[in-house]
Amino acid sequence: DIQMTQSPSSLSASVGDRVTITCRASQIISSYLNWYQQKPGKAPKLLIYGASSLQSGVPSRFSGSGSGTDFTLTISSLQPEDFATYYCQQSYSTITFGQGTRLDIK
Amino acid sequence: QVQLVQSGAEVKMPGASVKVSCKASGSTFDNYYIHWLRQAPAQGLEWMGIINPSGGDSSYAQKFQDRVTMTRDTSTSTVYMELSSLTSDDTAVYYCARVMFRDHWFDPWGQGTLVTVSS
């Protein structure tokens, strides 16, 4: 299976900060990379699909980039509701997820 | 807009089986797959398998191949995931999630079903 490695595993930031989360695949996955946000006690929510396409209804401060093996999720200006855990997921072959990045308030 | 509504929490003894349901409202069983995933306490997400609700064909992750069965009832737009030979390691929140034909991402997700395995 393809291993997905996110960094950092946790991150403390302040409202208004620009934040970048990285996801690296153990082999080339083209653009078959999606990002999800999960809040405690809730199901994951799709943010970005196909590495860089913003899901309908998701604020434009979220953006994704990358292809091949290296991908990033950027939040341009953190809002209070953005503090959550973020997961990358590849759909190139047998589905696997990154271990998650916990984003909390500094 | 489709919503996926899952059955309620379950508590099972080791060695037992559990059957979790996922009902699709707002849509027929056309043009999408339903996947099952799980998340152990304070852990990440793990993919379990996929079912085509209209055709009934399914495919499972190798880890669960011997003890998971995914079925559907087209009359009620409900899919089911049954996991047998439960151990404490199966304690987790189980999610169903939709993937449209020709898409590669999960949206929406069900609300999750907590399965606790304890003696």
Considering only CB atoms, which chain A residues are within 8 Å of B47? 94-97
pLDDT value of residue B27: 77
Residue B38 confidence (pLDDT): 98
Q: What are the chain B neighbours of A46 within 8 Å (beta carbons)?
A: 105-108
Chain B: residue nearest A43 by CA?
Answer: B111
Query: How confident is the model at residue B30, as a pLDDT?
Result: 80
Is B91's Cβ below 8 Å from some Cβ in A?
no
Average pLDDT value for residue range B48-75: 96
Burial category of B119 from C-beta neighbours within 10 Å (exposed 0-12, middle 13-18, buried 19 and up): exposed
Residues in Cβ contact with A97 at an 8 Å cutoff, skipping those fewer than 6 apart: A4, A87, A88, A89, B44, B45, B46, B47
Mean pLDDT, range A43-69, rounded to an integer: 98
* pLDDT (average), residues A46-68: 98
Nearest to B37 by CA among B65, B61, B19: B61
pLDDT one-digit tens code per residue, B72-97: 999 999 999 999 999 999 999 999 99
Q: What is the mean pLDDT of residues B11-17?
A: 98
Give residues with Cβ within 8 angstroms of B13, minimum separation 6. B86, B117, B118, B119
